Amino acid sequence: EAQVTQNPRYLITVTGKKLTVTCSQNMNHEYMSWYRQDPGLGLRQIYYSMNVEVTDKGDVPEGYKVSRKEKRNFPLILESPSPNQTSLYFCASSPQLLPPEAGAFFGQGTRLTVV
């Protein structure tokens, strides 16, 4: 079954304690991205990746890191989480076709609380 898998689904952590949210897709998609969702702000892009070893900043990259060592995985790293990073996070992937043929497939979401 085609899917994007995020882990963990829920996480409560303390300020400053490094954490990683994993994202994996089994569709051989080139493009992967991370979004955070906050009430009234919709989905804001954090980072995206066009392919292996290629990453770029989105709209709100401050406080986050990503890596793309393999095509299927795109982890989101918070080196020193702060309470303003409390949010719902979504990973997404899509095939990189020009013109684009398909929208993004989303993971289940990770609800992060930083206290």
Residues engaged in binding other proteins (CB under 8 A) = 31, 33, 35, 40-45, 48, 50, 56, 58-59, 90, 92, 94, 96, 98-100, 102-109
**H-only helix segments in 17-90:** none
Inter-residue contact 49 to 66 (CB < 8 Å): yes
Of the candidates 12, 42, 2, the residue with the CA atom closest to the CA atom of residue 110: 12
Question: Is the Cβ of residue 5 or residue 84 nearer to other proteins in the bound state?
Answer: 5
Question: Is the Cβ of residue 58 or residue 63 nearer to other proteins in the bound state?
Answer: 58
Q: Which residue has the tokens 């770029």?
A: 56
Nearest distance in Å: CB 82, other proteins = 23
Nearest distance in Å: CB 61, other proteins = 13
φ, ψ dihedrals at 46, nearest 5°: -95, -60
Nearest distance in Å: CB 79, other proteins = 24
